[in-house]
C-alpha cells in the first residue's frame, strides 16, 4: 500500500462491515479499488473467482483489469470478475437461462432493434399509435423496467390517464413479443436477474455463495434495479465496498438515483463511511472554485477537496459579444497558447451543456486548422453496414430473432415487400410463433403470393444451410463467405453515390470482421465461443462501446459536460456560462437545479492547470436576439478567484486579430528557424 494516503489505506483494509467510500473528484478512487482487490486476494486469501468488481463502462472495467494485471501475476488473479453491471447481468442470465424460462441462444436487442419492435407493435394498434411516439414509449418502458415495474403494475398505476394506459398496454405487448422471440433488451439484463434473485430463494443463496465480496464503482449513478441487484447479491452480511461521489451525480435524466448512497445506511445498518478528499489532479484554485460552488448544494454530503499539486492562478471569465465571437475567441486563444507555450492540442478541452453549442466552435477550429475530436459522433457499432452484418449473425444464432429478420430480409433486395411482412406478422401473432416459422406455415401458403413465398423459402433454406456450415467452421470465415454470397459490396455500390463511399463502408465491415475474430475466444478458457455466445458478447459490446479516437491523438477535445465525467485535461474551457444554458432553462426547479450545479462542478474539476469560463452578452435563440444574464453559478464562486476579461467593453475585431497574428508570427518564426 505504499504511496496511499491514510484515508485510502483505511478504505483498502476495511473488511468486516459494509463500506461506503465517498471519493471526491481526482482522489484516486480507481487505485483504491485496485489495491483493495489485491488486498483481498493477497492478505485476506479470498479466491479471485469470489471477488466481483462492477462499474458502468467497458473502458473503466478494462482500465481496472489492466491495473490489477500490473499488480498480480495471471495465476493469482485467474477467475477474477471485473465487468459492467450489464455484463454481470448477462453472465448471471447465461448461468440461469433455463431457470429464467429462456432458451439457449437468446438474443440481446440493442436500442435500435428495440425501437423497431415498438414501431411494429404500434402499427398493429391504431389507438396506441395515435397517442404515443415510439421513442417516448421506448423511454417510458425503459423507465418502468429500471424501476422494476411489470406491465401489470404499470397498467394499475396508469389509472385514467389514456397515454399512460396505452403505453402500459404497449409494454405488455412488447414483453410478450420479446418472450416469443427468445429475446431480451438492454434493461432486461438487470431486471431479469433482480426478479430471479428476489423471487427464487435457492438461486439467491446460490449467487450469494458465489459472490464472496462485491466492489461497486460510481455508486451514485446506480438506478433502482441496479441498487436492488447489489443488495440481493451481497445479502444481509453485506460484504460490500461502494465507491461514489454524490457531488458528481449528473445522470438523473437516465434513471440514476443519488439517494441510493443514503439508502445504503438504511439497508446496511453497520455501514461505515470513509471520505477521500485529497485531489491528485488539479491546482488549488480549481478546487477552491469547485468547493465554493458545491457548498450551495444542500442535497449532498459535505466534502472539502484539497490538493498538494500547486496554488494555481485565478480563472479567466471571457465575456464575448455573441456566440460567434465566443467561438472565435476560444479558437484563437487555443492557437495562441499552443504556439506560445508549446502546449499540445490534446491538452485542451472545450466543454458545453448541449451539443448545439459545438457547431460554431467547430467552424472556428477548422478555420484556424486546429485539429479536434468531437465526442458523441456516430459509434462504429451504429453504422448501417455493421448493424446489417450483426443482424445476419444474430439470425443465424437465433432463428426466432424477428428484429434481425426484419432488418436483413431485403438487404440486399429480395422482392419481399411490406405487404408480405405485414401478413407474416399477423400469422405470427395469431399463432404465437416467430416470423420464420410463420413463413413456413400452412397459413402462409394460403395468404402469401406463391412467387413471394418461393423467394421466402429460398432465403430461409439458404440461412439454414449457412447455419449448418457455421457449426464446422469459424464464424468469421463463414461471415466473409456470407457477405460474398449476397454480394454485399455490390449492394453498397448501389446505395452510395460514389465508389469511394461504398469502399469506406466495405472497409468498416473488414474492421468489424477483424474485431469479431479477436473477441471470438473465451478469455478464461481460451476456447472458441459458440455462435450464440459470440453473438451475445458482440451485442453487449456494441451497446456499451463508443468508438473514440486514440487518446494520444494531438487534437482538441470537444464534448458535453455529461460526456466529460471521468476525464481530465490540463486546460479546460467551460462555455456558455449563462442563465438558461447552464443552468439549462428546463432545469430551474430545486432538484433539477441541484443537478445542474453538480454538472458545472464536474466541468470545473476536469481542469488540471487552467480553467477558462466563457459567456456572451447576447445570443440568438429561436431566430431572435436575446440579452444574456451570466450564470448564477459564477456568483457562487468568490470574486477573487475570477479574472473577468471583456466586461463592459465590446471585444473588437482588432483584439481577436492581434491574438491570431501573434500566434501566426510565432509559427513563422518556428518554421524559419528549422
Residues annotated as catalytic are: 29-30, 217-218, 248, 606
- For the chain, state the CA radius of gyration: 28
DSSP 637: S
Residue 333 CB partners (closer than 8 Å, separation 6+): 318, 573, 612, 659
Judge contact between 137 and 164, C-beta under 8 A: no
Concatenating the DSSP letter of every residue in 365-386 gives HHHTT--EEETTS--GGGSHHH
Judge contact between 466 and 408, C-beta under 8 A: no
DSSP 630: B
In what helix (H) or strand (E) does residue 359 lie, and over which residues does it extend?
A: helix 358-367
**Phi, psi dihedrals of residue 321, rounded to the nearest 5°:** -75, -50
Please tell me the distance from the alpha carbon of residue 290 to that of residue 248, in angstroms, as a whole number.
11
Buried b (16+ CB within 10 A) or exposed e, 521-553: eeeeeeeebbbbbbbbbbbbebbbebebeeeee
**Phi, psi dihedrals of residue 259, rounded to the nearest 5°:** -65, -10
Please tell me the distance from the alpha carbon of residue 181 to that of residue 556, in angstroms, as a whole number.
45
Helices 111-123 and 134-146 meet at what angle, rounded to 10? 120
Q: Determine how β-strand 624-627 pairs with β-strand 618-621.
A: antiparallel
Please tell me the distance from the alpha carbon of residue 281 to that of residue 245, in angstroms, as a whole number.
16
Amino acid at each position: 500500500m505504499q504511496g496511499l494516503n491514510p484515508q485510502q489505506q483505511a478504505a483498502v483494509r476495511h473488511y468486516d462491515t459494509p463500506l461506503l467510500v465517498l471519493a471526491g473528484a481526482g482522489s484516486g478512487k480507481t487505485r483504491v479499488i485496485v489495491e483493495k482487490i489485491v488486498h483481498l486476494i493477497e492478505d485476506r486469501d479470498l479466491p479471485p473467482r469470489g471477488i466481483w468488481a462492477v462499474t458502468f463502462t467497458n473502458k473503466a472495467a478494462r482500465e481496472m483489469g489492466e491495473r490489477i494485471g500490473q499488480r498480480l501475476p495471471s495465476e493469482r488473479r485467474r477467475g477474477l470478475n471485473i465487468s459492467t453491471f450489464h455484463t454481470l447481468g448477462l453472465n448471471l442470465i447465461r448461468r440461469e437461462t433455463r431457470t429464467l424460462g429462456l432458451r439457449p441462444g437468446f438474443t440481446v436487442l440493442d436500442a435500435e432493434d428495440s425501437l423497431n419492435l415498438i414501431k411494429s407493435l404500434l402499427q398493429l394498434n391504431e389507438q396506441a399509435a395515435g397517442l404515443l411516439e415510439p421513442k417516448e414509449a421506448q423511454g417510458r418502458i425503459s423507465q418502468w423496467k429500471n424501476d422494476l415495474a411489470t406491465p401489470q403494475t404499470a397498467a394499475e398505476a396508469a389509472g385514467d390517464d389514456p397515454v399512460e394506459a396505452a403505453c402500459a398496454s404497449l409494454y405488455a405487448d412488447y414483453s410478450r413479443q420479446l418472450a416469443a422471440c427468445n429475446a431480451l433488451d438492454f434493461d432486461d439484463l438487470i431486471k431479469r436477474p433482480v426478479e430471479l434473485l428476489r423471487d427464487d430463494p435457492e438461486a439467491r443463496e446460490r449467487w450469494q455463495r458465489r459472490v464472496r465480496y462485491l466492489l461497486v464503482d460510481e455508486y451514485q449513478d446506480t438506478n433502482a434495479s441496479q441498487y436492488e441487484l447489489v443488495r440481493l447479491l451481497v445479502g444481509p452480511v453485506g460484504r460490500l465496498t461502494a465507491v461514489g461521489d454524490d457531488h458528481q451525480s449528473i445522470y438523473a435524466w437516465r434513471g440514476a438515483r443519488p439517494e441510493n448512497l443514503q439508502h445504503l445506511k438504511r439497508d446496511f445498518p453497520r455501514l461505515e463511511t470513509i471520505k477521500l478528499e485529497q485531489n491528485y489532479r488539479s491546482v488549488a484554485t480549481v478546487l477552491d472554485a469547485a468547493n465554493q460552488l458545491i457548498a450551495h448544494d444542500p442535497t449532498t454530503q459535505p466534502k472539502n477537496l484539497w490538493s498538494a499539486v500547486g496554488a494555481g492562478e485565478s480563472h479567466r471569465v471571457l465575456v464575448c459579444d455573441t456566440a460567434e465571437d465566443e467561438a472565435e475567441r476560444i479558437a484563437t486563444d487555443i492557437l495562441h497558447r499552443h504556439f506560445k507555450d508549446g502546449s499540445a492540442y490534446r491538452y485542451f478541452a472545450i466543454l458545453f451543456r448541449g451539443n448545439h453549442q459545438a457547431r460554431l466552435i467547430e467552424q472556428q477550429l477548422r478555420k484556424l486548422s486546429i485539429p479536434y475530436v468531437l465526442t458523441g459522433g456516430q459509434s462504429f457499432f451504429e453504422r448501417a453496414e455493421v448493424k446489417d452484418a450483426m443482424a445476419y449473425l444474430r439470425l443465424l444464432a437465433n432463428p426466432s430473432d424477428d428484429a434481425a429478420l426484419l432488418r436483413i430480409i431485403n438487404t440486399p433486395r429480395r422482392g419481399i415487400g411490406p405487404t408480405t411482412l405485414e401478413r407474416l406478422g399477423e400469422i405470427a401473432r395469431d399463432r404465437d410463433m416467430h416470423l420464420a416459422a410463420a413463413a413456413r406455415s400452412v397459413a402462409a401458403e394460403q395468404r402469401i403470393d406463391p412467387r413471394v413465398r418461393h423467394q421466402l423459402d429460398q432465403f430461409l433454406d439458404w440461412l439454414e444451410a449457412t447455419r449448418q456450415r457455421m457449426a464446422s467452421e469459424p464464424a468469421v470465415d463463414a461471415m466473409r463467405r456470407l457477405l460474398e454470397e449476397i454480394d454485399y459490396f455490390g449492394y453498397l455500390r448501389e446505395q452510395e453515390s460514389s465508389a469511394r463511399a461504398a469502399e469506406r463502408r466495405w472497409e468498416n465491415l473488414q474492421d468489424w470482421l477483424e474485431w469479431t475474430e479477436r473477441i471470438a475466444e473465451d478469455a478464461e478458457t481460451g476456447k472458441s465461443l459458440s455462435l450464440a455466445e459470440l453473438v451475445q458478447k458482440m451485442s453487449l459490446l456494441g451497446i456499451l462501446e463508443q468508438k473514440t479516437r486514440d487518446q494520444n491523438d494531438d487534437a482538441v477535445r470537444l464534448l458535453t459536460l455529461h460526456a466529460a465525467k471521468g476525464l481530465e485535461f490540463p486546460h479546460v474551457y467551460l462555455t456558455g456560462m449563462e442563465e438558461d444554458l447552464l443552468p439549462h432553462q428546463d432545469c430551474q426547479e430545486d432538484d433539477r437545479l441541484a443537478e445542474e450545479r453538480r454538472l458545472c462542478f464536474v466541468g470545473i474539476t476536469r481542469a488540471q492547470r487552467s480553467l477558462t469560463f466563457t459567456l456572451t452578452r447576447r445570443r440568438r435563440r429561436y431566430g431572435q436576439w436575446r440579452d444574456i444574464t451570466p450564470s448564477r453559478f459564477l456568483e457562487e464562486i468568490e470574486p477573487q478567484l475570477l479574472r473577468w476579461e471583456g466586461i463592459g467593453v465590446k471585444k473588437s475585431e482588432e483584439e481577436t486579430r492581434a491574438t491570431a497574428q501573434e500566434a501566426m508570427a510565432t509559427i513563422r518564426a518556428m518554421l524559419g528557424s528549422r
